[in-house]
Amino acid sequence: MKLLFVADPLEHFKTYKDTSFAMMREAARRGHQLWACECADLAWQRGSRVSARGARQIRLTGQDSGQDAWFEVLQTADLALADSDAVVMRKDPPFDSEYFYATHLLGQAEREGAQVFNKPAALRDHPEKLAILEFPEFIAPTLVTRSAEAIRSFHAEHRDIILKPLDGMGGMGIFRVGPDGLNLGSICETLNRDGAQSVMVQRYLPEIVAGDKRVLLIAGQPVPFSLARIPQGSEIRGNLAVGGKGVAQPLTPRERQIALAIGPTLAARGLLLVGLDVIGDCMTEINVTSPTCFQEISQQTGFDVAAMFIDALQTAAGAGARP
């Protein structure tokens, strides 16, 4: 297959942990052709098709370190997305205006015959924090509001709460307010900007000390291991980006229940790869833009997550194992 990865600059990949790199490595092992571009390279002109201007066909060198030593460029060309067998959208958050526009260009490419994973419309329809609202039976007490008064009432009821912006990533902008309510007013002002910006508020889950679990769904089926991202020191956030320790663990019965309940629904909408965040018995986020943790799980358990993903990609693209 000819695979086009829409991603951040290849030179910025941390190959020892990067999930997109793990996908590329497994695809290359099977003989698939690798191309890469950035969202800024996507373009459309009347009378033509959506193309990746200056897309690079790459070969992996086998050197998994160094800014650009891990790949070499075989050729550079304008590549119509519909001329690839599959487009893998792996641009990291944030989901800003440019990301939004990129999904529309990818949607046009679909109309021209391209196969895009995850499906662009599904990326737009599943904002990673708000997507959990569809499945209230699996989440903690949660409030989404612009109202500082509503936040204060929620705190009065639950006493220990977490506040976070809807557009945050990697643990950015997350605050905990305990029973004393210390700094609640200041935090509300910071996050909701005097009512101009919506905030998500959730009851604090003490099970976070055992880890914020990343549960991966591939084609609606759960990877049998999660990655528990465990907060370190006095930190309340388990995100790897802020120093959390990643420990792979078999799925608990509750994690498997959540995954099997919602996985087929999400897969049917064109979400080939999903990352659920679970703390204790509660799902806290549904990540669809660029879910990670392939390498950490594989290195610690021996389960080849990238192979499971490429199997699913080949099937979804209708190409089987064709090189």
> Which residues are known catalytic residues?
129, 164, 214, 229, 237, 277, 285, 287
Strands 2-6 and 33-37: parallel
Nearest to 218 by CA among 106, 94, 83, 312: 312
Q: What is the DSSP letter of 90?
A: -
In degrees, rounded to 5, the angle at the alpha carbon of residue 41 between the alpha carbons of residues 38 and 47 is 140
Nearest to 2 by CA among 105, 62, 77: 77
Tokens 């409030």 belong to 143
- Cβ neighbourhood burial of 194 (10 Å; 0-12, 13-18, 19+): exposed
Residue 33 in tokens = 């052709």
CA distances from 176 to 28, 187, 285 (A): 44, 9, 17
Nearest to 146 by CA among 195, 190, 194: 195
The span from the CA of 129 to the CA of 151, in Å, is 17
Neighbours of 195 (CB within 10 A): 13
The span from the CA of 127 to the CA of 118, in Å, is 13
Residue 74 in contact with residue 58, Cβ under 8 Å? yes
3-state secondary structure of 207: helix
Alpha-helical (H) ranges within the chain are: 19-29, 97-111, 120-125, 148-158, 184-192, 253-268, 294-301, 305-316
CA torsion angle for 7, 13, 18, 19 (degrees, to 10)? 20
